[in-house]
Chains A and B, each alone.
Chain A
């Protein structure tokens, strides 16, 4: 008799509040999530020089020295330059379309060396680095247009085409050793 009664009651968990619980958790994660994408100027630092192996010699014409001094002035190979002309100068130097004997032998050999002072303002440095990166981006874009007819950005990451362009215009940006003291 008792058994019969129990069987009639259908055991069921009330699932209507499940949605509320899930919503609550959802809102928590929505609030806590940071969707700020990390973006910035990527760079690879040179390793600490070994005492036993001297640094590879770089011919003078293949080296472009950029110095940002304490007053925030930009000097390219010793001459004062404005930030806005950095990009064109770097492009000329790396690509060397007229085969000038003062500029780099080939894009592969070109090294951009960046030196700073202890009192260099950070944002001037970033602006300068931005221009250098811009110069490389434009050169790679030109090359990509010439070879494949598509902009560099539309090439797939790690694809053969992208590697080819990267090999043609490697970013050889070197951070000069800081002065002692």
Chain B
């Protein structure tokens, strides 16, 4: 009996951990590849509208965002409806044309994602759309949440 016990005790109990860094590195590389860094600081407030029949945009690299909503003024106050592209608010509508024209020259398959606050009025979106048409960026996408 005692002989039997001794034999069992000799087997190694420790799990080999030498492969752990490899596993972790693999995960790390996966996340590094899939990550799109949060590159913009939102200066306008956007609450998305909801819709049922929505499409996903698979290629994030093609997407350029335009944010439209009431400006954040601090102390939770909201100002007038403004347009934000990348990091800056655009006051002059005519400038959108040049910005978007440069972008479509870099990436001809550009999709413009319009992230519009649901309480906005459509006039400002019409203006933006007219500028987009002048720039030649015709593929757009109204960002919405899935309706539950």
Q: Does B associate with A?
A: yes
Which residues of A are at the interface with B, using a C-beta cutoff of 8 A? Answer: 15, 18-19, 22-23, 25-26, 29-30, 32-34, 37-48, 68, 116-123, 125-127, 129-130, 133-134, 137, 175, 178
Known interface pairs A23-B24, A40-B113. Does A121 touch B122 (Cβ–Cβ under 8 Å)? Answer: yes
Question: By DSSP majority rule, is chain B's interface helix, strand, loop, or mixed?
Answer: mixed
Q: Is the beta-carbon distance between A33 and B35 smaller than 8 angstroms?
A: yes
Q: B51 touches which one: A22, A34, A68, A126 (CB < 8 A)?
A: A126
Q: Is the beta-carbon distance between B126 and A39 smaller than 8 angstroms?
A: no
> With A19-B20, A39-B144, A44-B140 given, can you name 18 additional A-B contacts, CB distance below 8 Å?
A29-B35, A32-B35, A34-B38, A39-B57, A40-B51, A40-B144, A44-B138, A46-B138, A48-B134, A68-B122, A119-B122, A121-B119, A121-B122, A126-B51, A126-B144, A127-B49, A129-B51, A129-B142
Q: Is the beta-carbon distance between A40 and B133 smaller than 8 angstroms?
A: no
The reply on B98 being an interface residue by CB < 8 A is no
Tell me the count of chain B residues lying within 8 A, CB to CB, of chain A: 55
Which residues of B are at the interface with A, using a C-beta cutoff of 8 A? Answer: 17-18, 20-21, 24-25, 27-28, 31-32, 34-38, 49-57, 60, 63, 111, 113-114, 116-123, 125-126, 129-130, 132-134, 136, 138-147
Q: Is the beta-carbon distance between A45 and B133 smaller than 8 angstroms?
A: yes
Known interface pairs A34-B38, A122-B116, A134-B53. Does A39 touch B143 (Cβ–Cβ under 8 Å)? Answer: yes
A13, B58: Cα distance in complex, Å = 43
Q: Is the beta-carbon distance between B133 and A19 smaller than 8 angstroms?
A: no
Residue from B49, B50, B56, B132 having most chain A Cβ neighbours under 10 A: B49
Known interface pairs A19-B21, A39-B144. Does A178 touch B126 (Cβ–Cβ under 8 Å)? Answer: yes
- Looking across the interface, which residue of chain A has its beta carbon closest to that of B146? A39
5 of the cross-chain contacts (CB-CB < 8 Å) are A22-B25, A119-B123, A120-B122, A122-B121, A178-B126
Known interface pairs A121-B119, A123-B119, A126-B51. Does A42 touch B141 (Cβ–Cβ under 8 Å)? Answer: yes
Q: A43 touches which one: B18, B50, B52, B142 (CB < 8 A)?
A: B142
